[in-house]
Amino acid sequence: MPDQLETNAIASALAAATWTFDGQPWTTMAVSGSCGPEACTVELADARPGSHGDDVWIFDVRPAQGLVTVATSELRGMPNELRR
């Protein structure tokens, strides 16, 4: 993970923008990030037992401004009982 993304402010903004179907934390998570001259991309993915699939969140991050925005999200981590 690039150093400019490893700050409390960026971590807090990512946490505030990310949610789960039942409000419970993920049991397993993968994080990756890359940065260009002015902007970064962060991808968060989860895996939860008893879920249909994984949630994937992709964020656009402007570290100098402390801005984090959701670029896209694929929310497939809903509990299996909700699929009925």
Task: Give percent of the chain with pLDDT exceeding 70.
Answer: 98
Residue segments in the chain with a per-residue pLDDT below the cut of 50: none
Residue 39 has a pLDDT of 94
Residue 84 has a pLDDT of 65
- Long-range contacts formed by 41-46: CB under 8 A, 24+ apart: 41/71, 42/5, 42/14, 42/68, 44/14, 44/18, 46/20, 46/77
Q: Are 44 and 14 in contact (CB under 8 A)?
A: yes
Q: Which amino acid is at 49?
A: P
